[in-house]
C-alpha cells in the first residue's frame, strides 16, 4: 500500500514543519539545557513514531551498559531505520555523524542538528577531518555521538569493513566507546526493494563500554577490529 505511506509521508513532513515552527518560538525563552531536553524529547517521539508506524518492535538488551556522561555509540549499519532505532530506543540524547546527503532534507536535518549531529562529506578528506573535530568538541561538552564505521548500509545481515578513522572520535575526546549491534532493520525497508515497509522484530544489543583512556598504542590501533568483533559475535548468536 505505497499510497498510504505517501499520505503518511506528507503528514509527517507537515508535522515536522509545525514542530519546528513551535520550537523556534519556544526556544527564545529557554535555557540551553531546556533547549537540549526539548529537542531530545521531540526527536525521540518522531523516531519511535516512524518505527511504530511500520508495525515493527525493538527488543533492547544491555541498557545497563550505557555509561553516565558522554560516549560514542559505534554500530553496524544495516538500513535506513538504524538512525531511528538508536534515536528512539537508546534513552539518552545522541548526535549522529551522518552522511552529508541527509543535510539536503531540511526538516529532518534541522531536528538532527538540534541534537548536535554532524554531517560528513566522506568524499572530501578535509571535510571529514573537520566533521570528526566537530564531533570531538561535542563529546567534550558532554554530548553523546553515534557513528556507523561501515560508512554505508549493508542492506543485509553481513557487515562491511569498519573504517579506522571512526574510532578517532572517541580516542580524541577520551570517552568510552559503546558497541551497539543492530539486527533486522534491513528487513523493514531495504529487503522490500525500497518500495514498502514490513513489520519485523529488531534486536538492539548494547555491549559493555570500552574505556579508551586505558588502551595501549597497540589496542588503539586494533580498536576498530575489536569493536567489529564484538558486534559480529552478537550477530552470529542472533542469526544462528
- Say which CATH number the domain at 165 has: 3.40.1130.10
Instruction: State residue 128's pLDDT score.
Output: 84
Report the run of H or E that residue 147 belongs to, with start and end.
strand 144-147
φ/ψ (deg, to 5) at 180: -125, 130
pLDDT at 127 exceeding the cut of 60: yes
Handedness of CA 90, 100, 200, 240 (dihedral sign): negative
- Domain, as residue range, for 146: 2-239
Handedness of CA 187, 191, 194, 197 (dihedral sign): negative
CB contact at 8 A, 173 and 225: no
Confidence grade of residue 35 (pLDDT, cut at 50, 70, 90): very high
Alpha carbon distances (Å) from 30 to 23, 33, 34, 42, 194: 10, 8, 6, 15, 40
> 181 or 165: which carries more pLDDT confidence?
181
Instruction: State residue 51's pLDDT score.
Output: 92
Residues 6+ apart with CB under 8 A from 34: none
Q: Among residues 224, 207, 235, 234, which one has the least CA distance to residue 63? A: 207
pLDDT at 116 exceeding the cut of 70: yes
Structurally, the chain folds into a number of domains equal to 1
Handedness of CA 86, 89, 91, 93 (dihedral sign): positive
Instruction: State residue 179's pLDDT score.
Output: 97
Amino acid at each position: 500500500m505505497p499510497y498510504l505511506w505517501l499520505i503518511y509521508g506528507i503528514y509527517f513532513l507537515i508535522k515536522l514543519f509545525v514542530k519546528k515552527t513551535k520550537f523556534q518560538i519556544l526556544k527564545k525563552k529557554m535555557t540551553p539545557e531546556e533547549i537540549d531536553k526539548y529537542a531530545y524529547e521531540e526527536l525521540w517521539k518522531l523516531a519511535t513514531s516512524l518505527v511504530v508506524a511500520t508495525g515493527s518492535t525493538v527488543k533492547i538488551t544491555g541498557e545497563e551498559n550505557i555509561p553516565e556522561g558522554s560516549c560514542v555509540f559505534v554500530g553496524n549499519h544495516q538500513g535506513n531505520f538504524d538512525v531511528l532505532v538508536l534515536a528512539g530506543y537508546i534513552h539518552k540524547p545522541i548526535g549522529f555523524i551522518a552522511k552529508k546527503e541527509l543535510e539536503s532534507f531540511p526538516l529532518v536535518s534541522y531536528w538532527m542538528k538540534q541534537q548536535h549531529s554532524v554531517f560528513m562529506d566522506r568524499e572530501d578528506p578535509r571535510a571529514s577531518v573537520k566533521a570528526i573535530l566537530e564531533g570531538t568538541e561535542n563529546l567534550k561538552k558532554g554530548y553523546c555521538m553515534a557513528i556507523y564505521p561501515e560508512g554505508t548500509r549493508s542492506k543485509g545481515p553481513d557487515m562491511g569493513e569498519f573504517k579506522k578513522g571512526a574510532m578517532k572520535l572517541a580516542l580524541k575526546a577520551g570517552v568510552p566507546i559503546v558497541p551497539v549491534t543492530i539486527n533486522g532493520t534491513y528487513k523493514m525497508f531495504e529487503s522490500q526493494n525500497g518500495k514498502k515497509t514490513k513489520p519485523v522484530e529488531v534486536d538492539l544489543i548494547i555491549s559493555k563500554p570500552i574505556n579508551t583512556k586505558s588502551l595501549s598504542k597497540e589496542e588503539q590501533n586494533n580498536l576498530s577490529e575489536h569493536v567489529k568483533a564484538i558486534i559480529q559475535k552478537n550477530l552470529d548468536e542472533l542469526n544462528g
